[in-house]
Structure 1
Amino acid sequence: MKSMLGVTIGIILIGIVGMLYLQNNLDEKPEKIFFTLQGDNTVNSIPNENNWIAGEKMTYVSAIKNGLLVLATSSANDTVFAFNGETGESIDTFLVGKTPKGVKIRPDGNFAFVANEGSDSISVINLILGKIHTEIPVGKTPHNIIFNPSSDLAFITLQGEDKIAIVDAKKFELISTIPIEGLPHNLDISPNGKFLYVTRIATNDVAVVNLENQQIIAEIPVSAGHHGIDVSPNGNRAYVSGIASDVITVIDTQSFDVIDQIKVGNGPHGLRTNYDGSILYVAVSQTNEIVEINTDTLEIINSIKTGNVPFWVAIPGNP
């Protein structure tokens, strides 16, 4: 990381954090989609559709709430790339632990967590100062992260030991773990912070965890994975991809029933709804496109061709 770039990201982010209150109170939020192109070693955006040169094997991507900062992991280069979400300008790079995968920006915008599979740790980036703040040992093979919107906790899937790590996201300390058998992979949380949804590679299902008692209350079969997952902003549905399949599984989160499977093409992985949940965006890795689905009708309404191997999707306002 270059010191001048660290100063630059600090200046930019002070402005970004200051704009969050305004952003929260705007009637219209930015409709922008960011995604990694694993086959091109780049990050891209819609509607700009300009490739941002990054590192090898770009994997996960996260955007701050107002869309002005985008972070993406290069799992081959052990690096997090930071971009200006408006211009695509490279802001900084951060050398993190080995084989970084999931990256998530804390809801207040001040810090980012990075799951280092090869180091069994979480790297914490101070986004205001533009530097690594600390590294948290969490357990074997951490893969991805979600923050609880109702508390100061973060949850991390530990693929290497079939657990969910619980971390205090303000004190940067491991608190405890929840046992989840079946290779827990990606995860999301209900908007009220009460239920955790965890995809499992070994069993091709979603485990629903009641966080009040940390018990699994449902196991919902989905397609062949590994998987991505997104819980809708109103909490009524969960959408699950399966990269070894060609469908998106739609789950009713009240009954835990599968209500549909939507064919989108081979290799769907990253997926996110827009800020009001009306459109679901899916990165289809083998057909090189972003597919748009109307979440009312559950029908495909658009397909946007991309570069090679679109992998993960980030949308401002949907962490």
Structure 2
Amino acid sequence: MFKDKEEKLLNQITNLITRMNLEVLVKNLVTCGILVLSMLSIPLSAQTYISDFVNGPITDRPVRILQTNSAGDDVYVFDPSTMEQVGYIPNLPHNHGATVHADGTHYYFTNEQDHTVDVVDTRTFEVVKRIPLANGPHNLSASMTARKVYVAIIAEPLIQVIDMDTNEIIASIETGGGVHNTFVTPDGRYAVGGMIGVSEIIAIDTETDEVEFEMSIPYSQNPFTGGVRPFTFTVNEDGSTRSLLVNVGGWHGFWEFDWETQELMNKISPPDDSWNRMDQTADGIQSAPSHGVVVLPDQSQVWHSSRATSHIYGYSFPDYEYLGRVYIGNPAWITTTPDSKYLWVGVSGHNETAVVDVEKQEVIKRFPVGQAPKRIFTAIMPADWEGEAP
């Protein structure tokens, strides 16, 4: 998909090299906003829980999976390359969202009990700071290029912005209602907030923290739909955002909206003969049959979770042909490894994290974790990150 783009870019860079020294070349690349990643054979990721990337191929860098536990006070850390648990972070009461510092030095977790963002050393797992918020938070997401963290405040109509370099709040952006989720577009240019109650989406320019656009998904009845739950992004060949894939309350699957026009493009739901359920969910569907959606980094498939049937469902992209489903057991959020080979799923009803082989479409491993694991995040670390302290 990106082959022509990459060849053109490589030719341009080769021409630049012949005309200028390395110092000028780097200056020009940075000025043009071209990341080293663009030169690689791996396309820019459109994965929800990985924001944008800094220098270096993502497959050559350390990766960690962070499993939060919404009814507990701990987070489990996994190394997907070895399929092993490598860390345990206590003292994070009612943790919700997770993200990572651009330099790989700290994890950030929203703390629903204390109304804080808790900053944790990635090597020692020590809580080094608790950043007070305006009110109770839900999810958070980071722009690595802007070096900012965007925190969804559910108890007030706000998104609060944290500067990664100071770990201080530098802005509070008013929204139309309490914000359930924030996600950053894969190129790092926009932080996007989703609201359940008012069923709205707001996009914020991460350079200026000004509102880029706002859009509404009106509530309807018979069948009931409305309220913005998790969402993700697809990308164009140049890495810019193509569309939003949104879990809408009441809808089994997701809706696709054009990024530029905010117009509805598709409503995707599993075939009728794939709706039989396997077991009961511990906490019900909470008006959201689907509460997790992810695009594989290679842009080949989209997967969403189903509280209604205890499965996850896969589709080809961009034509959305149905590929099949995998039994999980009350799945919540989904994340993926950078190589697009594995899905990691929080299994809320079973207190597990499940690993799914994408090609085989089967669960290959289950890890016992904490209470009600829901949000799950893929952290891409810098190439020189030294790993957890011995």
TM-score class, shorter: 0.7 to 0.9
Deviation at 1:226, TM superposition (A): 4.9
Deviation at 1:151, TM superposition (A): 6.5
Q: Determine if contact 1:220/1:258 at 8 Å carries over to the other structure.
A: no
Amino acid at match of 2:262: Q
Structure 1 partner of 2:169: 132
Deviation at 1:66, TM superposition (A): 6.3
Structure 1 partner of 2:158: 121
Amino acid at match of 1:252: S
Amino acid at match of 1:187: F
Q: Determine if contact 1:275/1:316 at 8 Å carries over to the other structure.
A: no
Deviation at 1:275, TM superposition (A): 1.2
C-alpha distance in 2 between matches for 1:160 and 1:57: 22
Structure 1 partner of 2:180: 143
Deviation at 1:205, TM superposition (A): 3.0
Amino acid at match of 1:59: H
Tell me the percent identity. 19
Match for residue 337 of structure 2 among 255, 264, 274: 274
Structure 1 stretches of 4+ moved >6 Å: none
SS state at 1:240 partner: strand
| Count of matched residue pairs | 297
Give yes or no for the alignment of 1:188 onto 2:232: yes
* Alignment RMSD: 2.2
Deviation at 1:279, TM superposition (A): 0.8
Structure 2 partner of 1:221: 269
C-alpha distance in 2 between matches for 1:53 and 1:67: 19
Give yes or no for the alignment of 1:239 onto 2:280: no
Amino acid at match of 1:203: W
Give yes or no for the alignment of 1:87 onto 2:124: yes
C-alpha distance in 2 between matches for 1:87 and 1:191: 35
TM-score scaled by structure 2?
0.71
The 5 Å alignment of 1:36-55 reads 36-46=68-78, 47-55=84-92
Deviation at 1:21, TM superposition (A): 4.8
Which structure has the larger Rg over C-alpha atoms? 2
1:77-99 superposed Cα distances (whole Å, 9 cap, x missing partner)? 21111112232121211111322
Q: Which runs of 5+ in 2 are unaligned?
A: 1-52, 79-83, 219-225, 276-284, 382-390
C-alpha distance in 1 between matches for 2:116 and 2:267: 35
Change (3 A) 1:53 1:96: same
Structure 1 partner of 2:142: 105
Structure 2 partner of 1:200: 248
Q: Which runs of 5+ in 1 are unaligned?
A: 1-19
The 5 Å alignment of 1:5-16 reads none
Deviation at 1:48, TM superposition (A): 4.3
1:253-291 superposed Cα distances (whole Å, 9 cap, x missing partner)? 2222332121012x2112100111111101101111111
Structure 1 partner of 2:367: 304
Match for residue 60 of structure 1 among 97, 101, 112: 97
Q: Determine if contact 1:66/1:316 at 8 Å carries over to the other structure.
A: no
Deviation at 1:180, TM superposition (A): 1.8
Larger RCO: 1 or 2 (CA < 8 Å, sep 6+) = 2
Match for residue 191 of structure 2 among 136, 143, 154: 154
Q: Decide which structure has greater strand share.
A: 1
Structure 2 partner of 1:35: 67
